[in-house]
Structure 1
Amino acid sequence: MRFAFGTLSVVPVRVRRWDRAAGGRAMVLAPVVGAVLGAVAAGAGALVAWRAGGPLGAVAAVGVLAVLTRGLHLDGLADVADGLGSGKPAEDALRIMKQSDIGPFGVLTLVLVLLAQVAALAGQFAVSPLRGALAVLAAAVAARCALAWGCLRSVPAARPGGLGAMVASTVAPGAAVASTGAAMTLLALAGIADDSSVFMLPTAVALSAGGSWLLLRRCVRRFGGITGDVLGAMAETAATGTLLALALLR
């Protein structure tokens, strides 16, 4: 749990174990981090939406989540977009992803994803602050569910070193299923507060998992495996997919 919070959030914890076994367990427990961060962002978004309207509430929620993660997943999303969009061989694409600057593909992807997240959340907050808060929670949890699937034992690391190599191939399929199933159950229970969300929240998470899995397959074929950036891109894909699914299912 320390590994999960220490690497996936700004929560100041001391990571006492830094090995592959701890990393694999951390990816299975990642939805717990999502639930905590999502609850904070959901509360902030609901408060702002109550006082200033749904669009600002959506911006507040997305902004708080970005701050609580140091923008780690957004940075990964931009890097993967630049790598995939470069059209270069795997080695060159991975080098592009490691560079500190951001290219046109990364900028465009970030803008579109953030716009989609804010627009989808604004619609949820327009229904009620509670509906918007539950959507934020679902997106944050879904994003961390994706991490376990990206670290399945059948998925290799694209290069040695870094967080990706530390956690690649460390999660058993059964553990990923159990982690996601527990997260979906938690969201269904949270959805009791809003009757129409009981089935919508877990359904949206399940649908979003398909999008993040497609991205994973593309990255494995393109780069030869995962990196920390790929995991971040999977998380943002799952979060955005959840919000879009909720908007369509409403």
Structure 2
Amino acid sequence: MTDGLRFAFGTLSVLPVRVDRWDRPTAGRAMLWAPLVGVVLGGLAALLGGGLRLLDGGPLLAAVACVAALAALTRGLHLDGLADVADGLGSNKPAADALRIMKASDIGPFGVVVLLLALFTQVAALAQAFGGSARLGAFGVVLAAATGRASLLRGCLDGTPSARPDGLGATVAGTVLPRSALVTGVLLVAAAAGGGWAAGGAGTAGLRLAVGALLALACGLGCAALLLAHCVRRFGGITGDVLGAMVETATTAALVVWCLFAAA
């Protein structure tokens, strides 16, 4: 489990963690730790954004700081995957050609548009949440970051094929057992509901935000699952870029749902 934890933080963040093992069993255990990586990264971003909000920096500045921090803490890895997948899908070419487009180092028009829309949506949603309070915005960051990384459980679930014979996608594809994913999912649901309740405080506000957190989690994972199904049909399986796109899709969708409850 320690090797899996190292693998998770070493591949999903810029935190200085040494990865001692790089094999499929370790990769499977690492994906089970992925939501925890999201909590840690989201917590670091929330400290920055929440601090700016408390110092009267304003909701918009706090939101921009959080989105920028999450990008910096991952070297933009997932954002790059989102842009590459957008280019691959937007090309409307056969799977082999689309995969070559995704592997290219440049970014095309589809990638630029989707990347900008995703970032603008994340900032707008977080600004709305921070407009309610620093606590609501900060929890939204943590919830969205954890939801994004939780989508990797579905992306790497047993039976999910890899589109390429090598690369990160091939290493992690099909490594997560359904039973293990279910246990992690139950823990995540409990944490989301408890965090939403705490963010809202006692009474009906806490209950409303607990429901909002669960809906944000479900919506984020659902949107990522839809993207996964489409990518598997188009490309024949997953790649590291597809997993990155799932993370950003789930993160964005969760933020949109959360901001609707936080602003109510």
> What TM-score, normalized by structure 1, do the two folds share?
0.97
Q: How far does residue 172 in structure 1 lie from its aligned partner after superposition? A: 1.3
Equivalent position of 1:186 in the other structure? 191
Q: How far does residue 176 in structure 1 lie from its aligned partner after superposition? A: 1.8
1:31 paired with 2:35, answer: yes
Q: SS where residue 257 of structure 2 aligns? A: helix
Gap regions ≥5 residues in structure 1: none
1:222 paired with 2:252, answer: no
Equivalent position of 2:173 in the other structure? 168
C-alpha distance in structure 2 between counterparts of 1:67 and 1:13, whole Å: 16
Task: Map 1:1-250 to 2 at 5 A.
Answer: 1-51=5-55, 52-195=57-200, 196=206, 197-249=209-261, 250=264
Q: How far does residue 29 in structure 1 lie from its aligned partner after superposition? A: 1.0
C-alpha distance in structure 2 between counterparts of 1:53 and 1:210, whole Å: 32
C-alpha distance in structure 2 between counterparts of 1:160 and 1:208, whole Å: 29
Q: What percentage of aligned pairs have identical amino acids?
A: 57
Deviations 1:118-163 (A, max 9, x none): 0000000000000000000000000010001000112100001111
- Matched to 1:68, the amino acid is L
Cα RMSD over matched residues?
1.0
Equivalent position of 2:203 in the other structure? none
Q: How far does residue 186 in structure 1 lie from its aligned partner after superposition? A: 1.5
C-alpha distance in structure 2 between counterparts of 1:199 and 1:245, whole Å: 11
Gap regions ≥5 residues in structure 2: 201-205
Q: How far does residue 54 in structure 1 lie from its aligned partner after superposition? A: 0.2
Q: Which runs of 4+ in 1 moved over 4 A?
A: none
Q: How far does residue 191 in structure 1 lie from its aligned partner after superposition? A: 2.5
C-alpha distance in structure 2 between counterparts of 1:194 and 1:98, whole Å: 41
Q: How far does residue 100 in structure 1 lie from its aligned partner after superposition? A: 0.4
Equivalenced residues, count: 250
C-alpha distance in structure 2 between counterparts of 1:56 and 1:161, whole Å: 41
Q: How far does residue 201 in structure 1 lie from its aligned partner after superposition? A: 1.2
Deviations 1:65-84 (A, max 9, x none): 00001100000000000000
Deviations 1:35-75 (A, max 9, x none): 11111101111111222100000000000000001100000
